[in-house]
Amino acid sequence: DIEDKMLKLGGVTPRLYSQVLRLAASCNIHTTLSTFSELKAEENEEFRTLELRSKKFVRQPARVMKSHNVVPPRYKRQKVDQDWGNVWPAARTFHPASVPLPVRQGYPASGQVTPDKWGNAELMKIPNFLHLTPPVIKRQCEALKKFCTPWPSGIETAAEQEKYFPVMVSKSTYLHSSPTLRDQKARIVTLRVSLKSLDLDDHGRDKLLRLVKNRHDPTTDCLTIVADRCPLSQQNYDYCFYLLTVLYNESMKTEPWEHEKEVADRERYIWEGSPSQAALQAIIDSNEDSTPEEVIEEYKKVVIDLHNEGEDEPTLSRYRDSVMKLVGLA
Amino acid sequence: SWRACSSLRLGHSLFSNGLLRGLHTTQAAHKAQAGRYRVTRNRSKPLTYEMANQPCQIAHRKSWNSWNTTSLYEGLREPETVVDDIFIRKFMTGTWHNLFVSEVIIKRQHNMIRIAGIVQRKIAARKMYFLIGYCEELLSYWLKCPVKLELQTVPDKKDVVYKYI
């Protein structure tokens, strides 16, 4: 009999055994039918328990997730003298298992050390230059060398460059991190040329400056033409050169109506035929002693300066000295 | 400013019926509460480094999650990039269901988009490879440029916990 057996084993009461079997039943653990039916027969002698509330939720054992076989980190298989350029050929987010360095990043929490590279999002966020180590850069330079030619001889100095290549054309291209390549500012073309290299005479220079207005910089004597009216930079480049050609040709020509230029239109003061010349002549004629040449020349120069460069302290003082000498008071 | 802030309390006091009507007579100066987590009684809330550092620590102790040239002077396509970033983040966190333990990091270089992040090893490696290929392929079609995923895996999400509050 099971009862006797249980009592013999000692300590296991029928009630406890029935509880265990009931638990076993709820956990779907296999029990022999015979023992269960015997217990049930026994239980029928006692009063059946009335269960008003539903059975308490019996917590199932937590599902254990299969731990997947993980390959050991890559740095363990890397030789000390490996070619790093082959491990990290292009820009890549930091990967702690591939980089054999014990880097740390982050502000340490109180009582902790700086967070290490494993599971460190900060190290992943920042751009790294592991793909541009010095040996790799050297290798890339060596590879590019065959496309390079030496600087042409004969244009080493700036003066020579200005002499042989007086026109400078500049244009910008733009790079954005976006799917589109277009940037409207890339169509702008700037042409710079020094007027010295244009071989213009006085009239030509004056005419060019009138045509060009504020595109000429008097300090550097450079003409700057900016073209952005066409959609393509090639078209703007052609337009720049067209403008330069037209300006030069027009300034070399003399139109029939240019003789109508009046004294007020002159861009600078001309001594010949001016009232100051007539006045000086009158003074010279009225003077008994012949005035020396250099005094006349000096007065002429000073008056020209006064008109062209404006009235300021040095020009006025020079004018005063010159007049004193002319009149004979100095 | 905090000194110039004043508020009136109209109605009955707090103890009588619990109803208060407040009125700001100057500009409302509320406390900053963006990106800040409430301390628990038993220090049970785990925070990653990202969560532990508040938005004011960006560029001091924290870095940005999105890298592109749109916010530079005369950088183009800023609003479209922002919307694309929002879409990428939603897509990644949704496709990798409950697997991301860090923020999605988006880097744009030339015309490429490189997406990085830390992922738990809850699914098999083969499934991960499939998800990587799926994300790269579909995102490149939607965003019209090459997309590369550069993920890091971590055995358990406890490995990215920085501190408990």
Give the closest of B143, B145, B159 to A118, CB-based.
Answer: B159
ipTM for this prediction: 0.83
- Does A125 contact B154 at a Cβ distance shorter than 8 Å? no
Name the percent of chain A lying above pLDDT 90: 55
* Of residues A23 and A226, more confidently modeled: A226
pLDDT surpasses 60 at B19: yes
Q: Which of A178, A180, A181, A185 to mutate to test the interface with B (most CBs of B within 10 A)?
A: A178
Cα–Cα distances in angstroms (integers) from residue A222 to residues A60, A198, A209, A210, A241, in the given order:
89, 11, 11, 14, 15
Q: Residue A92: its chain B contacts at CB < 8 A?
A: 114, 150
Instruction: Please list every residue in chain A whose beta carbon sits closer than 8 Å to the beta carbon of residue B105.
Output: 93, 121, 124-125
Distance, CA of B146 to CA of B141 (rounded, Å): 8
Statement: residue B55 has pLDDT above 60: yes
Cα distances from A125 to residues A118, A119, B84, B137, in angstroms, run 14, 12, 18, 23
CA–CA min distance B30, chain A (Å): 28
Query: Residues of A near B (CB-CB distance < 8 A)?
Result: 65, 68, 70, 91-93, 95-97, 106-107, 109, 112, 115, 118-122, 124-127, 175-181, 183, 185
Residue A17: pLDDT above 70? no
**Residue A35 clears pLDDT 90, i.e. is over it:** no
Quick check: B99 contacting A, CB < 8 Å?
no
pLDDT of residue B100: 96
Mean pLDDT of A185-203: 93
User: What was the pLDDT predicted at A212?
Assistant: 93
CA dist., res. B97 & res. B6, Å (int): 47
Least confident of A21-25, A148-152, A204-208, B147-151: A21-25
Asked if residues A6 and A14 have their Cβ atoms less than 8 Å apart, the reply is yes
Mean pLDDT, range B99-103, rounded to an integer = 96
Question: Shortest Cα distance from A59 to chain B (angstroms)?
Answer: 23
pLDDT of A74 reads 93
Percent of chain A with pLDDT over 70: 88
* pLDDT at residue number B1: 44
Q: What is the pLDDT of residues A311-321, one digit of tens each?
A: 899 999 999 99
Q: Pick from A93, A122, A180: which is nearest to B77 by CB?
A: A180
The overall longest dimension of chain B from CA atoms, in Å, is 66
Mean pLDDT of all residues belonging to chain A: 87
Whether A146 shows a pLDDT value over 70: the answer reads yes
Distance, CA of A117 to CA of A105 (rounded, Å): 7
Chosen from B37, B45, B63, B99 to mutate, greatest number of chain A CBs within 10 A? B63
Q: Which tokens in the block code for residue B147?
A: 């997309």
End-to-end Cα spacing for chain B: 31
pLDDT digits (tens, 9 = 90+) for A251-284: 999 999 988 888 888 888 888 888 888 888 888 8
Mean pLDDT of all residues in B130-140? 97
Question: What per-residue string of b and e applies to B78-106 under the rule 16 or more CB within 10 Å gives b?
Answer: eeebeebbeebbebbeeebeebbbbbbbb
Answer whether residue B15 shows pLDDT above 60: no
Does the predicted model carry a pTM greater than 0.80?
no
Chain B environment of A106 (Cβ under 8 Å): 49, 61, 162
Could you tell me which residue, B21 or A298, shows the higher pLDDT?
Answer: A298
- Tell whether B47 lies on the interface with A, counting CB pairs under 8 A: no
**Is residue B70 a contact partner of residue B76, using CB atoms and an 8 Å limit?**
yes
pLDDT digits (tens, 9 = 90+) for A209-225: 999 989 999 999 999 99
Helices of type H across chain B: 14-17, 49-52, 78-95, 125-143
Residue A103: per-residue pLDDT:
95
Kindly report, residue by residue over B64-97, the tens digit of the pLDDT: 999 999 999 988 999 999 999 999 999 999 999 9
The shortest C-alpha distance from A180 to chain B (Å) reads 8
